[in-house]
Structure 1
Amino acid sequence: MADFEYGPAEFMVAAFDTDRPSAGVVQAILDLVASGTVRLLDLVFVERHDDGSIDIIELEEIGDEIGMTDITLEGSGLAGDEDVQQIAELLEPGTTGAILVIEHLWAKELASRFFESGGVVLHSERIPAPVLNAVAAEAYEELETTES
């Protein structure tokens, strides 16, 4: 089997209407890391103030404040300056963005097997949870209507 050091990773951006993510968001990230589902490679916060000015905050600066002191970012810097600046421009004034680079540890072996057999992933797309739930609810309602 081809042994990859890293599995597939995802660059994810979440926007919050507060200056920090809630304790629940932080705990969800910590739980995923602790379970071995993901590895947090990089995490950067971007605050866009009401006057339009921007502050970039590294995890090292606020780890104590948000309860993430035990996290080591193995890919710190993967969210590069250009990426961070582009994302900052997308944020509404008075909001904060969290930029996460997460390695999908659950998919690491599958990626190795694809590579080993000459396979190539041609397309991968993340469907946001609200979209998937809305489509599934609609399909379920339609199924119930046709069965009645």
Structure 2
Amino acid sequence: MTDFEYGPVEIYLIGFSGERPGTDVVDAIRDLVRAETVNLLDLLFVTRSDLGELTVLEIEELADDYGLNDLEVAEMGLAGDEDVEDLAESLAPGTSAAILVVEHAWAREFAQALDRAGGMVLGSERIPAPVVNELVAMTSA
């Protein structure tokens, strides 16, 4: 039987106006980790200056500012330099983003079951929450 150390992983680029995300976003990430909905594998913050210069900050560089000292990051460095560059390419001057690498904890056992059965995920598509909610509102009206 195959035991997976991790289930499916997603990388999110979460954009913000200004230099840094608000504390509400950081609190939401902390809540997901505490609830064991996701395992935080890597977390970086990137900022593009008004002149276009990109600054990348590791979580330990911001831990004190955001009270993240208690937040465990399991696989720091999983988002490599090339990933960061590719993701940050779309970042407009004067904005920032968090690069969040998470494992969907709920899906690990499902992935193991698929593997044991000789199955595999052939496709997956994420529909952003604003789109889903807009569609539901339109069909409910």
TM-score where L is the length of structure 2: 0.95
What residue number does 1:12 align with? 12
SS at match of 1:132: helix
Decide which structure has greater helix share.
1
What residue number does 1:55 align with? 55
What residue number does 2:102 align with? 102
- Show the 5 A alignment for 1:15-54: 15-54=15-54
Q: How many residues align?
A: 141
What residue number does 1:73 align with? 73
Which amino acid in structure 1 is aligned with residue 47 of structure 2? E
Deviation at 1:87, TM superposition (A): 2.1
Percent of aligned pairs with the same residue? 52
SS at match of 2:132: helix
Per-residue CA deviations over 1:32-61 (Å, capped at 9, x if unaligned) read 101111000001111000011111111011
TM-score where L is the length of structure 1: 0.91
Contact 1:41 1:73 (C-alpha < 8 Å) held by counterparts:
yes
Per-residue CA deviations over 1:75-107 (Å, capped at 9, x if unaligned) read 111111011112222101000011000000011
The structure with the larger Rg is 1
Which amino acid in structure 2 is aligned with residue 127 of structure 1? I
